[in-house]
Structure 1
């Protein structure tokens, strides 16, 4: 992979590469122009904040090194019309100043919830911020979504992307160890958004990184209850009234969580008393195998999204807590206007011995790969 560093904060970087191979999975143009555009749009805590546009000639993914952010995904419908299919704000700088429910964010150190913000590790008890009722959520008061990552753009003959690194120092948000994290976000010629995480630590810690993009394949004109979902999961982890896992691993058979055959989301939301904010069990044992987690179809637009990951689970969140939110392009987002598919280790795993371990030790490397593949059905 050939890396190209940004020369100055004001540089506009454009890379155009002709690609002659036609991808096997998605029908796109015979020749694809790959392009990266980078522009500094703000400064935060003395660090430059950039807005990136990755373009493969068919679709665009917009990113920022503030929060390791997926800002927008512009994808064609069955008539070739490009629309943004994520919930977002009007500009990257707004993410610095305007509270939002983790739109597009890299969540960490530990994504999802930790009961009462408490855990024990190697005989030491830790207390984290309780920023979600009585519990800890997505890394605390200033998690990775509020940090400026160090960026480096790159390209080869099949992808364009941005590599971002962040050093979380020992004690930050209450977590132990100096943690060096890296995320690669790239757009392929085959219309896939790939996200890859790596991390190392100098002291035993816990870690669960994910991306928190809210998708709406209809172009965010209304809620997502008309979307069709299929999960390759035969179990889920039930939660209590505070959305903390009970420790049980339950079969989906005979429940609203059974998406093993395609289901219309609105029907399942009605059957589950208002929505989903639950972990679906995708693997029982850790492995490097990329598994087909989820397929989402939107009949009206023809858009299809297939999600793959090598992790243990996926948090399916249906925007239950969004209400009258002033989003991008003058739109007001409301309940169920977006859905998240957060590839992850199981929530609150440090407090459940029967859950996959989230512990990372010195000398080990955390690795996590996600791929969202976009296509169209006419």
Structure 2
């Protein structure tokens, strides 16, 4: 596996970088330190043709465009401190009330308006005798977006010759604070300008967290006999008319134990033959099918319309700081944050 920096001679910001990871199978992953965003993943289809299977901008500077950040859909971003929503931007910790900045109506979403998706990360390439890794680091100061404690974050990207993109997250705080990091890539395995409604999805989940609006009710409910039951393959668009918002944007509780790397989802796209497996050590995964994409953004090959891509956001549950019964997302000096997600790419020929 090789990593190299792609020169950006036209960039107006010398701090913005773009890197390409490439393995022996020809798979390439491009990542920018602007938001630590995955900008492109190119894999082969059943006819050995390579196409991009994620939604991303052509130019890294676009991820920091103020108009985009003010209406952000988090294309491929590393999001934090807290992925997903915190109700009304409020929580209590050790008897103290905290008020976070809101950016999703009255709620705090994906770290707030200047969350990690909007930062320029510090990149480096770690070369060893066995592998090369792309490392992104960021320091979030005390009271950043309203969060307590100084948080030091490290995210490592590694593309194996087995077609696995391994993302390792580490974070350490000098005070107790919520931490919930994830990647927000929008996948479309067709590699074409089409929606994802005919993709077939399996999710290894027997339970999910119902919500009112976009905030959990606190209930943990079985998926059995509901449109959230993906124990067998279902097309993404097959049961949308059974959902309140006609779209999936829900937290699925992944079977197995937190901290254990296990399979969370399996996706296949019949026309191209491409497959995607998602593995995680996290207790939950937001299954989101791009209901808020509206064609505002595009790259040189496609427009990002509603249902143009879907996300598998491995995570702690939404609004976890306000639900003691949910798995704890509080980390500090005695409890560093660790999380691994693996996206494994394949093809049925």
The question of a shared fold, defined as TM-score above 0.5 by the shorter chain, is answered with: yes
- How much has 1:123 moved relative to structure 2? 1.1
For 1:141 and 1:339, the matched residues in 2 are separated by 22
- How much has 1:156 moved relative to structure 2? 4.3
Aligned to 1:237: 209
Counterpart selection for 1:214 from 182, 186, 210: 186
Q: Which moved more, 1:90-99 or 1:351-360?
A: 90-99
Aligned to 2:43: 75
SS of the aligned residue for 1:368 comes to strand
CA radius of gyration, larger in: 1
* Partners of 1:234 and 1:251 within 8 A in 2: yes
For 1:55 and 1:330, the matched residues in 2 are separated by 22
For 2:84 and 2:285, the matched residues in 1 are separated by 11
* 1:332 equivalenced with 2:299 (yes/no): no
Aligned to 1:61: 29
Counterpart selection for 2:5 from 30, 34, 38: 38
Aligned to 2:292: 321
* 1:343 equivalenced with 2:314 (yes/no): yes
Counterpart selection for 1:305 from 265, 276, 283: 276
Aligned to 1:275: 247
For 1:300 and 1:195, the matched residues in 2 are separated by 28
- Unpaired stretches in structure 1, ≥5 consecutive residues: 1-33
Alignment deviations for residues 193-215 of structure 1 (CA, whole Å, 9 cap, x no partner)? 11000011111111100000000
For 1:331 and 1:79, the matched residues in 2 are separated by 21
- How much has 1:268 moved relative to structure 2? 2.4
- How much has 1:36 moved relative to structure 2? 1.6
For 1:255 and 1:50, the matched residues in 2 are separated by 44
Q: Which moved more, 1:50-59 or 1:249-258?
A: 50-59
Counterpart selection for 2:141 from 169, 187, 191: 169
User: Alpha carbons of 1:311 and 1:83: their partners in 2 closer, same or farther (altered >3 Å)?
Assistant: same
* Partners of 1:52 and 1:64 within 8 A in 2: yes
* 1:200 equivalenced with 2:172 (yes/no): yes
Counterpart selection for 2:19 from 37, 52, 55: 52
- How much has 1:362 moved relative to structure 2? 1.3
The normalised TM-score by structure 1 is 0.87
* Partners of 2:256 and 2:262 within 8 A in 1: no
Query: Aligned-pair RMSD on alpha carbons?
Result: 1.5
Aligned to 1:146: 118
- How much has 1:157 moved relative to structure 2? 5.9
For 2:275 and 2:243, the matched residues in 1 are separated by 24
- How much has 1:161 moved relative to structure 2? 2.6
- How much has 1:158 moved relative to structure 2? 5.5
Q: Which moved more, 1:172-181 or 1:96-105?
A: 96-105
Aligned to 1:87: 55
The normalised TM-score by structure 2 is 0.94
